[in-house]
Structure 1
Amino acid sequence: MAGGWTSDGAVQEQIDSSIEDAIARARSQLPRGESLMHCEECAALIPEARRTAVPGVRLCVACQSRRDQEQQVSSGYNRRASKDSQLR
C-alpha cells in the first residue's frame, strides 16, 4: 500500500535499487588482471592455489584480511536500510 505521493511499489523499488548498488560496489572491488607472485604490501609469496582461485589477486591472505577489516569498520554502509539512517 502506497502512502502520500509514492507509488505502490516504491518501497520494493528502493530495496531493489539498494541491493543493485551494493552488488555493483562489490563487483567493482574484485581484483582483475594477472595475479602477483608476491604481496604488494608485505612482499610475502602468494601461494599458487590463491593466485588460481582469485584471478588478479594482489595481496596475501594476512594483508587482505587486515584490509577487509579496515574497510568494514570505516565503510559506513547502511546494511539495514532503515529510514532513520537514510535521512542522516
Structure 2
Amino acid sequence: MATGWAGDGAVQDQIDATVEDAIRRARTRLRTGPGLSHCEECEAPIPEARRKAVPGVRLCVDCQSAQDEDAASAGYNRRGSKDSQLR
C-alpha cells in the first residue's frame, strides 16, 4: 500500500492514537467518589456491595438495567440494510 511520505507503521500509529483518545475520553466520563445510598429514580436502597463495586453509583440494579436497555435500543442501525436506513 502506497503511503506517500508516511513512515512504516504510520497507519497503525494513527489507529493506536485514536483508540487511546477514545479510552481517555471514556475514563473522564466515569463517575468517582461515594455513591448514593438510595436510587435517584425509585428511592430503593442501593446495597453497600454495589456502592463499593461501582464508584459514584446513582441507580439501583433494576433502574440501571432499564436505562441500559433504553440506550441500547435507540440510535444505531447495526444491520446495514439499505431499506431500514431509509425509514
TM-score range relative to shorter protein: 0.5 to 0.7
Cα RMSD, aligned residues only: 2.4
Rounded Cα–Cα distance in structure 1 between residues aligned with 2:70 and 2:25 = 16
Cα deviation digits, residues 1-52 of structure 1 (max 9, x gap): 6512322222111111121122112212222121101112222211111011
**Gap regions ≥5 residues in structure 1:** 77-88
Alpha-carbon shift at residue 55 of structure 1 (Å): 2.1
**Gap regions ≥5 residues in structure 2:** 77-87
Show the counterpart of 1:54: 54
Rounded Cα–Cα distance in structure 2 between residues aligned with 1:69 and 1:18 = 28
TM-score by length of 1: 0.65
Show the counterpart of 1:33: 33
Show the counterpart of 2:43: 43
TM-score by length of 2: 0.65
Rounded Cα–Cα distance in structure 1 between residues aligned with 2:13 and 2:71 = 27
Show the counterpart of 1:17: 17
Aligned residues: percent identity?
62
How many aligned residue pairs are there?
A: 76
